[in-house]
């Protein structure tokens, strides 16, 4: 390896620095490029070294949009409009400091607590866990039996299957320090009655009824987490259980990446449900630039912020929702409010953009503007991207 790069990777100097291996798909060359990404927490600066060409690709530059908590293997980050996949730690020091406690676990919201998804996700963020994947699905009897296979011989098995297949569930991948035990602590005892006595603030105490209808499920070990995550979010074969989109009398909402990364997802979902809207499908996506341009094409040449809107939509994970309004799509646009959050705060202070938006580009949510596009926009996420 070139000596200057070797120094970048292994030299231990006085200033703290974290090193990662990162991949970026270069669409113009149709190539996957690999970089050494260096992050300096003192001033939130980044540096990138092109590994193949053995040269500095990005000189050390301050970049406040990247935070230390975003840096973990498996995450997708955005550096100056490039989406980078972090595929490994660049040295043992980084792995020891940032990677040693990081775990992934499966959280599944059961049918009895679906309408509490906003509150549950908010509690997840408050416990310093991050939702990295999410999908609403409806399990068949066979899928539920496969998922709960270790309980097959138990007396409650049929009751459990009957309950978990009676409505939609939301599966989520949670990431964080000791995520398996952190999520199980947040859940509380399996029996909701016991939870109310022993852990009154736990999810099962708040949202569960008994030992089966207990609000949510959590993996009990890292091995279970790996198996259960593979069940819902398979890494090799297909897409796992199907999404729940209906494409009937519904409209599209997208919680934008800035709102997801700021931990606002739970609050936004809660506001939507509290306003009387039904969420009929939900899924997290990481969009590339081509997808974002295609989805937002109707705004090209019409809205001055088009380029910024595209950059925002592919800057990180977003959450797409299919929403069934009580009185037609127009009412959902009213809940979202004016595109400019400043105007929204003056005219409609209780709208989603007034409450959670920052600018015309980072305005918390996208909603379908034209009635004829309602189904098309829902289909774009739930049929094309999840096809």
Cβ neighbours of residue 269 under 8 Å, at least 6 residues apart?
117, 118, 121, 255, 279, 321
> Which tokens sit at 78?
């955005």
Under 8 Å between Cβ of 135 and 99: no
Residue 19 parent element (H or E) = strand 18-26
- Catalytic residue, chosen from 217, 239, 258, 346, is 217
Look-up of token digits 């009398």: 249
C-beta of residue 171 within 8 angstroms of C-beta of residue 225: no
Is 366 an annotated catalytic residue? no
Q: Please name the residues in contact with 238: beta carbons below 8 A apart, sequence gap of 6 or more.
A: none
Contact indicator for 90, 21 with CB cutoff of 8 Å: yes
CB proximity list for 374: less than 8 A, separation 6 or greater = 250, 251, 252, 329, 368
Distance between CA atoms of 183 and 190, rounded to whole angstroms? 13
- Active-site positions read 217
């Amino acid at each position: 390896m070139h000596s200057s790069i070797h120094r970048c990777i292994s030299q231990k100097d006085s200033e703290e620095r974290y090193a990662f291996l990162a991949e970026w798909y270069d669409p113009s060359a149709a190539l996957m490029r690999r970089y050494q990404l260096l992050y300096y927490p003192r001033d939130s600066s980044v540096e990138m070294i092109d590994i193949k060409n053995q040269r500095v690709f990005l000189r050390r530059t301050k970049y406040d949009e990247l935070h230390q908590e975003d840096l973990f293997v498996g995450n997708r980050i955005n550096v100056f409009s490039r989406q980078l996949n972090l595929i490994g730690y660049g040295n043992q020091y980084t792995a020891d400091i940032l990677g040693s406690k990081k775990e992934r676990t499966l959280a599944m919201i059961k049918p009895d607590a679906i309408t509490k998804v906003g509150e549950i996700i908010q509690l997840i963020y408050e416990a310093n866990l991050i939702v990295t994947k999410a999908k609403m699905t409806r399990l068949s009897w066979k899928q539920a039996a496969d998922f709960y296979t270790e309980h097959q011989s138990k007396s409650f098995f049929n009751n459990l299957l009957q309950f978990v297949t009676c409505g939609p569930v939301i599966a989520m991948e949670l990431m964080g320090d000791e995520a398996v035990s952190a999520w199980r602590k947040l859940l509380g005892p399996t029996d909701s009655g016991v939870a109310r006595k022993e852990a009154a603030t736990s999810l099962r105490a708040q949202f569960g009824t008994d030992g089966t209808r207990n609000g949510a499920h959590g993996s009990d070990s890292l091995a279970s987490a790996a198996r259960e995550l593979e069940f819902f979010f398979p890494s090799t074969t297909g897409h796992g259980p199907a999404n729940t989109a209906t494409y009937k009398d519904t409209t599209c909402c997208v919680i934008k990446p800035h709102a997801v990364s700021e931990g606002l997802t739970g609050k936004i979902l809660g506001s939507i449900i509290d306003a009387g809207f039904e969420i009929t499908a939900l899924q997290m996506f990481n969009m590339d630039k081509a997808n974002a341009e295609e989805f937002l094409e109707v705004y090209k040449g019409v809205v001055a912020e088009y380029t910024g809107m595209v950059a925002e939509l592919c800057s990180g994970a977003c959450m797409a929702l299919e929403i069934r309004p009580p009185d037609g799509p127009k009412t959902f646009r009213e809940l979202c409010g004016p595109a400019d959050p400043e105007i929204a705060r003056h005219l409609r202070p209780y709208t989603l953009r007034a409450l959670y938006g920052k600018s015309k580009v980072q305005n918390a949510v996208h909603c379908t503007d034209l009635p004829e596009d309602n189904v098309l926009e829902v289909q774009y996420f739930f049929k094309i991207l999840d096809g």
